[in-house]
Amino acid sequence: MINVLTPDVYNRIAAGEVVDRPYSVVKELVENAIDAGATEISVEIEGGGKRRITVTDNGCGISKEDLPLAFRPHATSKLSTAEDLFTVMTLGFRGEAIASIASVSEMEIVSNAGGEAFALACKGGELGEIRAAAGAKGTRVTVENLFYNTPARLKFMKSDAQEEGDVGNMMARFLLSRPEVAFTYTVNGKVKYRSFGDGLKAALVAVYGAGILSDCIEISADKHGIKLAGFIGNRNFSKPNRSYQSLFVNGRYIVNQTVSAAISNAYAAYLMKRQYPFYVLFLDVPPEIVDVNVHPNKADVRFADNQIIYGSVYSVVSSVLDGNSRALEYVAPQSLPKQPPAAPQMTYAEAKKELQFDVSPLAGRTPAPRFFEQEREPLKFEVHAPTAAEIDYFEENKKFLLEQAQAKQERVDVKSLEYKGELFRTYLIYEYGDCAYILDQHAAHERLIYDRLREKTEQRAIVSQPMLMPYILEVNAAEYAFLEKNFGVLHELGFEAGAFGGTSIKVSAVPADLMGLDLKAFFGEILGSMESLRAIKLPDLLKDKLASAACKAAVKGGEKLTDEEARSLIERTEGDMGLKCPHGRPVAVKVKKSEMEKLFKRIV
Ligand code: ADP
Ligand code: MG
């Protein structure tokens, strides 16, 4: 039998898609406030948001006549014709959030569209009467007893603390993505976050505390049609999980594999396993190369060309972290505005405006509709096929990436390098035509050892060296089972390990390159990673550990090499001057003769 669902039932089902948890209710209500052009938004929750959520804004408000319409499904002020679908710039437009939430809670909207305030309540989808109320311009939406009439959904909610945590994470992202809005976020009467609408730096401090700025590098890259701006943690600042990573693509919070892989890989050399980079990044790309047709809750995007996005993000982040010559272009200028001495009469507001326009990640992003007129650049509304000029971005990018790749492969003819001496017992100087190469002896040696070992492990050409005194490793049952399962892998990598009664393991041979290896620390580290080894493969982890253990044997800075050793070191690099040490630092730095001449003002 086919039933036609009554709107009330339909809304309850639909509610599950739009709102499934308190954080999604908060998300919808805050997005409505932003769409209404609010500059101040306050969010209060109680009981993890299950008991009460209140969102107050100073936006345009809802008129008395429109108040009942706001509760109607498919009622929206943001679209009227089908064509509008292609140009809609607001966060919401389906007109289902309020109706859905109202059908599974007790909701009240108090709104003032510029005259008097009116209130309208709705319980489980039943509209009440409009009545006069008190309130300044703007809207206050209160949602109580969420899912009180849908016990199945109620059961799926997490503890107050967990729901609170999820709302908090989302509020943090609102503060960061809308630094021009002043937010107050209150949990059970206590203020958790407060921002003042005065820019991204301030928002970052509001969310992560005052120390965050000194742990981060601000970047602002605008190359080839792709803008990347925001803050990335510096090399030794990492976090134990991914919740400190925020990516906004064209203004929207997004979780995207391509971008997160590019960033992770840029950090790979600096972070230990199971540590995660910190970032708050705004990626702005031409709308025609990105498909933001996203699931309402799990926002992701598709890029027309993942390689370009990956390459651009990777090259910016890695050059900044590695501190190479391109990095300067990407690190946000700290000393804007540019001509302050010439224009001392510039007011703070003007200076700030200039600053924001040049370096703020907001420049070029889609603002809430109310702000359109205030932007300097006119916004395009027509929907059109990409023009040749726009498609050029791709060509430009490919060229850029190719150049990057070629620059990395800078090779010199080792035979023509002339060893000229050392500095500070650490840096070796070689002359090569019109250039000098300065080599960090420790970094270079480390890299060579690392490569040789990785290569040997790949080729399974590791020479195993029996130990005079076998090493006995005491482990617990779970660790024993784990090692026993992996005796074969260990064997391939040059270890000889076997059972030694009870839960002891005897190690009787090690890779020849690692004779002095601290076995206790080495196995300790591997067993420590046991839990998470499903994601990383043990052989990979072992190879990595072996290689980095071998690096400890590298010559240190401060050790004096003979001329012979210095020559042999450069020969072993095979002239690859783009090498980096296993920790990502450059092995060689190139200095051109002309740069020296500039230093001495022989040329300008
Ligand atoms: P949508 O946002 O998709 O239009 P909603 O159900 O979220 O649908 O909201 C319905 C309508 O109610 C909106 O189109 C808007 O006109 C009005 N509205 C909701 N919240 C607010 C608010 N905070 N300020 C002003 N108008 C609002
Ligand atoms: Mg909405």
What is the per-residue pLDDT for 393?
47
User: Residue 535: which CATH number?
Assistant: 3.30.1540.20
> Is the pLDDT at 274 greater than 70, yes or no?
no
Total residues found in the chain within this entry: 604
Which of the listed residues 162, 179, 200 is the one where a domain comes to its end? 200
What is the per-residue pLDDT for 529?
67
Burial of residue 55 (CB within 10 Å: 0-12, 13-18, 19+) is buried
pLDDT tens for each residue of 484-500: 888 888 888 888 998 88
What is the per-residue pLDDT for 321?
85
pTM: 0.59
Is the CB of residue 33 below 6 angstroms from any atom belonging to ligand 1? yes
Region at 49 (left for phi over 0; alpha for psi -120 to 50; beta for the rest): left
pLDDT tens for each residue of 235-250: 778 887 788 899 999 8
Tell me if 453 is assigned to some domain: yes
The rounded distance, in Å, linking the Cα atoms of 291 and 250 is 11
Name which of 410-424, 441-455, 462-476 the model is least confident about.
441-455
Tell me if 476 is assigned to some domain: yes
Is the CB of residue 290 below 6 angstroms from any atom belonging to ligand 1? no
The rounded distance, in Å, linking the Cα atoms of 153 and 571 is 68
Residues 152 and 241 in one domain: no
Is the CB of residue 549 below 6 angstroms from any atom belonging to ligand 1? no
Q: Which of 135, 230, 171 is nearest to 34 (CA)?
A: 171
Is the CB of residue 110 below 6 angstroms from any atom belonging to ligand 1? no
| pLDDT classification of 294: cutoffs 50, 70, 90 | low
Whole-number Å distance, alpha carbon 72 to ligand 2 midpoint, is 12
pLDDT tens for each residue of 178-193: 999 999 999 999 999 9
| pLDDT classification of 14: cutoffs 50, 70, 90 | low
Residues 213 and 193 in one domain: no
The rounded distance, in Å, linking the Cα atoms of 334 and 340 is 13
Which of the listed residues 200, 217, 236 is the one where a domain comes to its end? 200
More confident position, 125 or 274: 125
For ligand 1, atom 25, the nearest C-alpha belongs to 61
Whole-number Å distance, alpha carbon 141 to ligand 1 midpoint, is 11
What is the per-residue pLDDT for 400?
55
Ligand 1 atom at shortest distance from the alpha carbon of 91: 2
Residues 434 and 571 in one domain: yes
Whole-number Å distance, alpha carbon 59 to ligand 1 midpoint, is 11
Whole-number Å distance, alpha carbon 41 to ligand 1 midpoint, is 15
What is the per-residue pLDDT for 381?
31
> Is the pLDDT at 81 greater than 80, yes or no?
no
Question: How far lies 454's CA from each of 279, 422, 518, 582, 597, in Å?
Answer: 31, 29, 19, 11, 41
Ligand 1 atom at shortest distance from the alpha carbon of 141: 23
Tell me if 391 is assigned to some domain: no
User: Residue 341: which CATH number?
Assistant: 3.30.230.10
Tell me if 345 is assigned to some domain: yes
Is the CB of residue 112 below 6 angstroms from any atom belonging to ligand 1? no
- Residue 93 CA: which ligand is closest? 1
Is the CB of residue 96 below 6 angstroms from any atom belonging to ligand 1? yes
pLDDT tens for each residue of 502-520: 888 999 998 877 766 778 8
Which among 43, 53, 84, 98 is the best mutation to test ligand 1's pocket, defined by most ligand atoms within 8 Å of the CB?
98
pLDDT tens for each residue of 36-55: 999 999 999 999 999 999 99
Burial 222-233 (b: 16+ CB within 10 A, else e): bbbbbbbbbbbb
Is the CB of residue 32 below 6 angstroms from any atom belonging to ligand 1? yes
User: Residue 128: which CATH number?
Assistant: 3.30.565.10
Tell me if 150 is assigned to some domain: yes
In the chain, pLDDT over 70 holds for what percent of residues? 73
pLDDT tens for each residue of 356-380: 333 223 333 333 333 333 333 333 3
Tell me if 378 is assigned to some domain: no
Is the CB of residue 76 below 6 angstroms from any atom belonging to ligand 1? yes
Helix (H, G, I), strand (E, B), or coil: what is residue 122? Answer: strand
What is the per-residue pLDDT for 235?
79
Helix (H, G, I), strand (E, B), or coil: what is residue 46? Answer: strand
Q: What average pLDDT is seen over the chain?
A: 78
Is the CB of residue 62 below 6 angstroms from any atom belonging to ligand 1? yes
Name which of 33-37, 136-140, 398-402 the model is least confident about.
398-402
> Is the pLDDT at 587 greater than 80, yes or no?
yes
What is the per-residue pLDDT for 146?
95
Residues 146 and 285 in one domain: no
What is the per-residue pLDDT for 369?
33
> Is the pLDDT at 106 greater than 90, yes or no?
yes
Tell me if 364 is assigned to some domain: no
The rounded distance, in Å, linking the Cα atoms of 118 and 112 is 7
Whole-number Å distance, alpha carbon 32 to ligand 1 midpoint, is 5
Residues 349 and 461 in one domain: no
Is the CB of residue 94 below 6 angstroms from any atom belonging to ligand 1? yes
Whole-number Å distance, alpha carbon 28 to ligand 2 midpoint, is 5
Is the CB of residue 315 below 6 angstroms from any atom belonging to ligand 1? no
Ligand 1 atom at shortest distance from the alpha carbon of 98: 6
Mean of pLDDT values over 321-345: 54
More confident position, 337 or 292: 292
For ligand 1, atom 19, the nearest C-alpha belongs to 32
What is the per-residue pLDDT for 10?
60
What is the per-residue pLDDT for 431?
93
Number of domains composing the chain: 3
Burial of residue 90 (CB within 10 Å: 0-12, 13-18, 19+) is middle
Residues 239 and 337 in one domain: yes
Is the CB of residue 68 below 6 angstroms from any atom belonging to ligand 1? no
| Segments forming the whole domain that contains residue 322 | 209-354
Ligand 1 atom at shortest distance from the alpha carbon of 95: 8
| pLDDT classification of 211: cutoffs 50, 70, 90 | confident
What is the per-residue pLDDT for 512?
78
Which of the listed residues 319, 354, 389 is the one where a domain comes to its end? 354
Residues 96 and 222 in one domain: no
Ligand 1 atom at shortest distance from the alpha carbon of 99: 6
- Residue 137 CA: which ligand is closest? 1
For ligand 1, atom 23, the nearest C-alpha belongs to 33
Mean of pLDDT values over 154-165: 90
Residues 178 and 277 in one domain: no
Whole-number Å distance, alpha carbon 76 to ligand 1 midpoint, is 6
Which among 24, 30, 32, 100 is the best mutation to test ligand 1's pocket, defined by most ligand atoms within 8 Å of the CB?
32
| pLDDT classification of 522: cutoffs 50, 70, 90 | confident
Name which of 108-112, 201-205, 331-335, 372-376 the model is least confident about.
372-376
Ligand 1 atom at shortest distance from the alpha carbon of 97: 6
Whole-number Å distance, alpha carbon 61 to ligand 1 midpoint, is 9
Residues 185 and 221 in one domain: no
Residues 193 and 226 in one domain: no
What is the per-residue pLDDT for 123?
93
Tell me if 505 is assigned to some domain: yes
Residues 101 and 239 in one domain: no
Name which of 183-187, 199-203, 388-392, 427-431 the model is least confident about.
388-392
Mean of pLDDT values over 342-355: 37
> Is the pLDDT at 296 greater than 70, yes or no?
no
Residues 321 and 417 in one domain: no
Q: Which of 496, 499, 508 is nearest to 471 (CA)?
A: 508
Do 524 and 498 contact (CB within 8 A), yes or no? no
> Is the pLDDT at 561 greater than 70, yes or no?
yes
